[in-house]
Amino acid sequence: MSEPIRVLVTGAAGQIAYSLLYSIGNGSVFGKDQPIILVLLDITPMMGVLDGVLMELQDCALPLLKDVIATDKEEVAFKDLDVAILVGSMPRREGMERKDLLKANVKIFKSQGAALDKYAKKSVKVIVVGNPANTNCLTASKSAPSIPKENFSCLTRLDHNRAKAQIALKLGVTANDVKNVIIWGNHSSTQYPDVNHAKVKLQGKEVGVYEALKDDSWLKGEFVTTVQQRGAAVIKARKLSSAMSAAKAICDHVRDIWFGTPEGEFVSMGVISDGNSYGVPDDLLYSFPVVIKNKTWKFVEGLPINDFSREKMDVTAKELTEEKETAFEFLSSA
């Protein structure tokens, strides 16, 4: 058996974590021979609930779980981490302006970034899920100057998986038969789900999605809006936000960081935009197509971008630039 790795999940008493923790503990993220010390962080009022989650994890009797630590203290939670999955954030309440939401979250992610900087391993991989995920991730990274900014990523894999699933449903294939969809930009309703470079396996051979579907107006219209607004549609139906699908996407994202992406396939994640070749301004946390090898991501280069895509990519970059400016005003005073 290898040495245990320390994995933190924040917002650990919440519903995404409830769907996530078992998958981490049973080896389907870090492999079946990787022991884990699982650290659970939540706010003090949630400690009673967290205790129940701790009991359940113990009752799962998972052989890979060497220890489970539940805490409300950052200095305990962030110590010597190999992986930090930051799920907890301030949710948007009825009547709350996006600006207020940003302000509350800057405070949280500035504090957690500083704790990563102070207590975690410098090689820690940080995955931000809590919304607004891109800007929260940038805030955490800026607050942890001693950790390489490439180690920070935010979750757009849920959007990626949603896009894959919509194409598969439309063509009557499984999601596994669809690859190389892209989510560009912000994890918000301005994100751009792009299938110009996506492939689908039909009767054993790979064809482009546009070619396979022969329905450009759906791909440029309803498909895009369905993926952009899927989160809201789930809330409307369930009266709760996506948890099972979010947890599955987190597992996919972290597993790909850990083990790399399959040959010939790329995935979407929010990463620092520095040095990209797609005309996205530097110093934004923007979702790109990436390939991953040896726990290191690289931009997929050289994809041709048409005018329709360009416009959509610019709209979401503009939103991220505005979010960043608002967040950074608060950051200096937080």
pLDDT at 147: 98
Q: Are 146 and 168 in the same domain? A: no
Among 307, 277, 296, CA closest to 288: 277
162 in a labelled binding site: yes
Select which of 160, 187, 197, 253 is catalytic: 187
Residue 239: which residues within 8 A CB-CB, separation 6 or more? Answer: none
Compute, in degrees rounded to 10, the torsion defined by CA atoms 167, 172, 176, 180: -30
**Is 160 a residue of the active site?**
no
> Radius of gyration of the chain from Cα atoms?
19
Contacts of 284 (CB under 8 A, 6+ apart): 134, 138, 272, 273, 317, 320, 321, 324
CA–CA separation, 85 and 133 (whole Å)? 12
The SS3 call for residue 85 is strand
Q: Is position 325 within any domain?
A: no
Same-domain check for residues 136 and 231: no
pLDDT of residue 96: 77
In the beta sheet, which residues pair with residue 194? 182
* Residues 168, 89 share a domain: no
Q: How many domains does the chain have?
A: 2
Residue 42 in any domain: the answer is yes
Q: Is 291 annotated as a binding residue?
A: no
* Residue 200 marked as a ligand binder: no
For residue 208 the two structure tokens come to 């482009």
Q: Is the dihedral of CA 302, 306, 312, 315 positive or negative?
A: positive
Query: What is the three-class DSSP state of 155?
Result: coil
Contacts of 233 (CB under 8 A, 6+ apart): 226
Question: Is residue 279 within 8 Å of 177, Cβ to Cβ?
Answer: no
- CA distances, 176 to each of 87, 146, 214 (Å): 26, 38, 20
**What CATH number is attached to the domain comprising 161?**
3.90.110.10
* The predicted structure's pLDDT at residue 188: 93
Verify that 118 and 200 share a domain, yes or no. no
Which of 101, 120, 152 is the last residue before a domain boundary?
A: 152
Q: Is residue 303 part of a domain?
A: yes
Flag whether 98 is marked binding: yes
At 49, which CATH number?
A: 3.40.50.720
Tell whether residue 92 is among the known ligand binding residues: yes
Last residue of one domain, picked from the residues 123, 152, 181: 152
216 and 115 co-located in one domain: no
Structural domain for 308, as ranges: 154-319
Residues 118 and 158 in one domain: no
Final residue before a domain boundary, out of 134, 152, 170: 152
Whether 199 and 158 map to the same domain: the answer is: yes
Residues 21 and 144 in one domain: yes
Residue 97 sits in the same domain as residue 235: no
Cβ count near 307 (within 10 Å)? 7
> Is 326 contained in some domain?
no
Do 41 and 159 belong together in one domain? no
Any known ligand binding at 14?
no
Q: CA–CA separation, 146 vs 165, rounded Å?
A: 38
Asked if residue 247 and residue 211 are part of one domain, the reply reads yes
Binding site annotation covers 105?
A: yes
Structure-block tokens of residue 254: 């972290």
**Strand-pair category, 36-41 with 65-71:** parallel
Taking the C-alpha atoms of residue 277 and residue 139, their distance in angstroms, rounded to an integer, is 24
Are 152 and 140 in contact by the 8 Å Cβ rule? The answer is yes
Q: Are residues 185 and 135 in the same domain?
A: no
- pLDDT tens digit at each of 334 positions of the chain: 799 999 999 999 999 999 999 999 999 999 999 999 999 999 999 999 999 999 999 999 999 999 999 999 999 999 999 999 999 999 877 777 878 889 999 999 999 999 999 999 999 999 999 999 999 999 999 999 999 999 999 999 999 999 999 999 999 999 999 999 999 999 999 999 999 999 999 999 999 999 999 999 999 999 999 999 999 999 999 998 999 999 999 999 999 999 999 999 999 999 999 999 999 999 999 999 999 999 999 999 999 999 999 999 999 999 999 999 999 998 887 6
Is 331 within a domain?
A: no
11 labeled binding residue = no
> Over 254-323, what HEC string results?
HHHHHHCCCCCCCEEEEEECCCCCCCCCCCCEEEEEEEEECCEEEECCCCCCCHHHHHHHHHHHHHHHHH
Alpha helices, DSSP H only, in the chain? 15-25, 47-59, 74-77, 98-119, 133-142, 157-171, 209-213, 216-220, 222-228, 230-238, 244-259, 307-333
CA trace torsion 115, 119, 122, 124 (10° rounding): -70
